[in-house]
Chain A
Amino acid sequence: MSILQDANREQISRRRKTDWVLHILFVAATAIGVLALMALLVNIMMDGLSRLSPDLFTNYPSRMASKAGLKSAIVGSIYMVLIMTPLSFILGVGAAIYLEEYANKNWFTRLIQLNISTLAGVPSIVYGILGLTIFVRGMHLERSLLSGALTMTLLILPIIIVSSQEALRAVPRQRRDASFALGATRWQTVSGSVLPSAMPGIMTGVILALSRAIGETAPLVMIGALTFVAFLPNGIMDSFTVMPIQIFNWISRPQEAFHELAAAGIILLLGLLLIMNFSAILLRNKYSKNL
């Protein structure tokens, strides 16, 4: 009997030891992600903070690193968001409303749904090829702000649709029933009752999708966003540049001074994204209790 107990005790202590070792390993693996983020931030801060000055906002790109700035890129990014926001909002939320509130559950709806989830996984550079062929060449929009914004709209559409669908799905059934019971039509129900209560969730998704678009580089390289734009775009048909494109251009140069500029630009870009993400989280927290 005691021999059995001893063997058992030994086995238990071995298993506990395995558990303990693996616990440490799991913590270490988790730390890798956190440490990588810290290394990335510290590296960029150390390279870029010294170049973070008002000149970065007011100067146009230049062949001389000491004079170069991000003015046209910042303005280009802002214009881009201004064109993209209404487009992607209407199309994305519209598609989500159709799928959640109107569509019959038939094969065609399932096809659209499957299509949206696969579109979300298409590499962004493929959207660039699409934009180059359809918008730049096919519709003769040339290498303009409009071409870029349309391409980006298609890119973020799946993200907006999926997050809006989730927001709509979270609206309780009773809200719709109550509205129908009062004699409202389907559209009155959707626009007057369902949409307002899903709006915080939808906005959160839209902001996150837009912040993805602001940092996206590859499709705009394909579209042919220029890297040397010494003017501000006057209209939607003008050529343009955006922050990530300018940063990419600076990274590609061998000189150390341009790398510092790139790091300063990255600090700006990350700051902007941080503000957007933070506002999305605030929005979510503020309204999530009211549902």
Chain B
Amino acid sequence: MNQAKERPGITSISFKNKKTYILDRAMPLFLFLCAAVSIVTTIGIVYTLLSETVDFFRKIPIFDFIFGTNWSPLIAPKAFGILPLLSGTMLITIIACLFAIPVGLACAIYLSEYAPTRVRKIVKPVLEVLAGVPTIVYGYFALTFVTPLIRTIFPDTGVFNALSAGLVVGIMIIPMVSSLSEDAMQAVPRSLRNGAYALGATRFEVALKVVVPAAFSGIVSSAVLAFSRAIGETMIVAVAAGATPKLTFNPLESIQTMTGYIVQVSLGDIPHGSIEYGTIYAVGMALFVITFLLNILALWVARRFREEY
């Protein structure tokens, strides 16, 4: 279209049809607006969170929010320290990652280095199904299957506990770790493996000393993404982890996460503009900032430390 502008003589020939001309000129603008929606969304998220959060910090000192060890915004005596929610979130996330990252990585190594093509063709779609299961279904699974299982082993476990929710969040993020790590391993050139095999290395030695180091940036990035996903997971913890914000690292106790708190508040009837209402935004802001930084970190690791062949 730029050429048409530079050579007006041709314009009259190639754009005999006026509709074609207008469409060709208007479409880029329309398509650009579609792409701009994503920028507007980000601005919208940051703006809504920021404006209400600033309002919230006018009433509650930011220092009390970040370092307070008591979270009780709905019941007097009111306290607005986010640490209990943060520790709950971290407890869930750490359990999930301790479970999912080794399992997912082992799974990726198996699928990429050991598995015969036939097995791979069956197992990969099954893991993809696992990634497509709605989180509310995992919540049900945690509450009605995993929790009773844990309670037969540790009888004094609460009905709602961090361990059950954490393990199930782990199951949820296994496919993420395994498929992203496997992609990274598949990108390692065949010749590197063949070189190691030619020197007499076993398959395990090839996997551990050649493939994993070469794919390391992809693996780390998948782990960071999975970690961030676990922090933002909502329905599993809302169903199975409980609603008692407390500063504990005992996985058998009922806790509350940041996401779980937001759900709890939005289920109730909190008047718009109150301090309680503001807590949604302050907690949401904390959640957004943490996951956003982790996602950027994952992108950066994947790019910065990528081995080029």
Q: If the complex has contacts A15-B205, A129-B281, A187-B23, are A33 and B127 also in contact, measured as CB distance less than 8 A?
A: yes
Does any Cβ of A come within 8 Å of B287's Cβ?
Answer: yes
Specify which of A23, A125, A130, A224 lies most central, judged by the most chain B CB atoms within 10 Å of its CB. A125
Among B39, B126, B137, B295, contact of A270 (Cβ-Cβ < 8 Å): B137
Residues of A within 8 A of B145 (CB): 39-40, 43
Residues facing A in B29-61 (CB within 8 A) are 30-39, 41-42, 44-45, 48-49, 52
* A–B complex contacts, Cβ < 8 Å, 29 sampled: A29-B102, A29-B106, A34-B126, A36-B171, A40-B133, A43-B141, A44-B140, A93-B34, A95-B38, A99-B35, A112-B39, A119-B41, A121-B229, A124-B234, A126-B232, A126-B287, A129-B45, A133-B52, A157-B37, A185-B21, A212-B132, A215-B135, A215-B136, A217-B136, A217-B235, A218-B235, A218-B259, A252-B239, A277-B129
Whether B266 and A222, one on each chain, are in contact in the complex, defined by CB atoms closer than 8 angstroms, is yes
Closest A residue to B123 using CB positions: A30
Is the Cβ of B232 less than 8 Å from the Cβ of A124? yes
Tell me if A122 is interfacial: C-beta within 8 Å of chain B. Answer: yes
B82 at the interface (CB under 8 A from A): no
**Contact, CB under 8 Å: A33 / B45:** no
- Chain A CB within 8 A of B245 CB: no
Given contacts A43-B144, A112-B35, contact A125 B287 (CB under 8 A): yes
Contact B114 A97 (CB under 8 A): no
State whether A185 touches B20 (Cβ < 8 A): yes
B133 → chain A, closest Cβ, in Å? 7
User: Which of B33, B45, B299 interacts with A130 by CB under 8 Å?
Assistant: B45
Minimum Cβ distance to chain B for residue A33 (Å): 5
Q: Does A117 contact B (CB under 8 A)?
A: yes
Contacts of A121 in B (CB 8 A): 225, 228-229, 291-292, 294-295, 298
Interface size class, chain B: 35 or more
The answer to whether A112 and B232 have CB atoms under 8 Å apart is no
The answer to whether A130 and B20 touch (CB under 8 A), given A26-B106, A94-B31, is: no
Contact with B along A126-143 (1 / 0, CB 8 A): 111110111001000000
Do A30 and B110 touch across chains, with their CB atoms under 8 A apart? yes
Decide if A218 touches B234 in the complex (CB within 8 Å). yes
Partner of B284, one of A92, A116, A126: A126
Contacts between chains A and B (CB distance < 8 A), count: 264
A37 to B: closest C-beta gap in Å: 5
Q: How far, in whole Å, are A13 and B272 apart by their CA atoms in the complex?
A: 71
B38 touches A161 (CB 8 A): yes
Q: Chain A residues with Cβ under 8 A from B132's Cβ?
A: 208, 211-212, 215, 273, 277
Structural contact, A30 and B107, CB atoms closer than 8 A: yes
Enumerate chain A residues within 8 angstroms of B232, measured Cβ to Cβ: 122-126
Indicate with 1 or 0, residue by residue over A46-57, a CB within 8 angstroms of chain B CB atoms. Answer: 010000000000
Residues of B participating in the A interface, judged by any CB pair closer than 8 Å: 1, 14-15, 20-21, 23-24, 27-28, 30-39, 41-42, 44-45, 48-49, 52, 102-103, 106-107, 109-111, 114-115, 123, 126-127, 129-130, 132-141, 143-145, 171, 174-175, 178, 202-205, 225, 228-229, 231-235, 238-239, 259, 262-263, 266-267, 272, 280-281, 284, 287-288, 291-292, 294-296, 298-299
Shortest Cβ distance from residue B115 to the other chain A in the assembled complex, whole angstroms: 8
Give 18 A-B pairs besides A23-B204, A124-B232, A218-B135 with Cβ atoms closer than 8 angstroms: A18-B204, A29-B107, A33-B174, A36-B130, A36-B174, A43-B141, A44-B141, A94-B35, A98-B34, A115-B39, A119-B38, A121-B298, A154-B41, A215-B137, A248-B239, A266-B136, A269-B137, A270-B137
Q: How far is the CA of A217 from the CA of B133 in the complex (A)?
A: 12
